[in-house]
Amino acid sequence: MVRTAVNLGEIDVCLIVFNEELFLEKCLLRLAPYFQRIHVLDMGSTDRTIDIVRDIYGDRAQVLVQPRSDLFDNGFAHARNRVTEATTRPWVLHIDADELLAPLDADVISFESAPEAATAAKILRHNLIGDVPADYEPETLRGMAKSTTEHQVRLFKKQPDVRWESFLHEEIWIGDRRAHEIVGEANLVIDHLSAFRPHADRDEKELFYAWILMRVHDNPELQRHMREFYTQEYIPHNLERFRAMAKTFAEKKGL
């Protein structure tokens, strides 16, 4: 095993956004003290999303614009790879707008791994559930909301053999292997607030998710790099429900 230590100054942060004003300010305020540069791929936001980015990061932010239709056509890994390409530092950290970075107590991020897997690392994510808290400070979240936890590969070195794969439920791959299977865990923790979205917002995202699932189900070429659990179990077992939800989304969006 080898220990890798990455200085915070070696890391660019990437976000993909679409109308994320609800959580984005808190998300960026957590990132700004530690990471000097952020790259945002905006998919046509019509709310204050980009204003919030500019207010907090100013000229330290690079904003790329991509039509949301491109996500429909090319999937999530393509979008994440596109914003990654815009980064200039040797390491990249991907965060979502409804995730809050826990305070760091050091100016380096470290992890242990096998030598061949020292180019990426998992971070710990708490998926919070429960009542919407009055604020999003770490102590409040821990005290008011229950959570499940998972490890996701979000930190990686920018090099050709490390990239996002899969149309949906995208993951980092190193060469011909799924990074999650071989990399170590970094000392990074994030709180995931998706469950605190307003019901209408959550319902819209669920309809969109069902529509994307049906695209994958109906196009076998889109299933490449996707975990078999989704293609052989999750989608088939819920096919009738997802098909109905996807039809609703398509009718609403004129697809």
Same domain for 122 and 216, yes or no, is: no
Same domain for 112 and 219, yes or no, is: no
Same domain for 48 and 155, yes or no, is: yes
Per-residue model confidence (pLDDT) at position 195 = 84
* Band of residue 115 on the pLDDT scale cut at 50, 70, 90: confident
Q: What is the pLDDT of residues 193-221, one digit of tens each?
A: 888 888 888 899 899 999 999 999 999 99
Rounded distance, CA 66 to CA 79, Å?
Answer: 8
Same domain for 172 and 220, yes or no, is: no
Same domain for 121 and 223, yes or no, is: no
Percent of the chain with pLDDT over 70: 96
Of 144, 172, 191, the domain-final residue: 191
Per-residue model confidence (pLDDT) at position 168 = 95
Q: What is the pLDDT of residues 25-66, one digit of tens each?
A: 999 999 999 999 999 999 999 999 999 999 999 999 999 999
Rounded distance, CA 24 to CA 99, Å?
Answer: 9
- How many separate domains does the chain show? 2
Q: Does residue 140 have a pLDDT over 80?
A: no
Find the domain containing 173 and state its range: 2-191
Residue type at position 189: V
Q: How many CB atoms lie within 10 A of CB 193?
A: 25
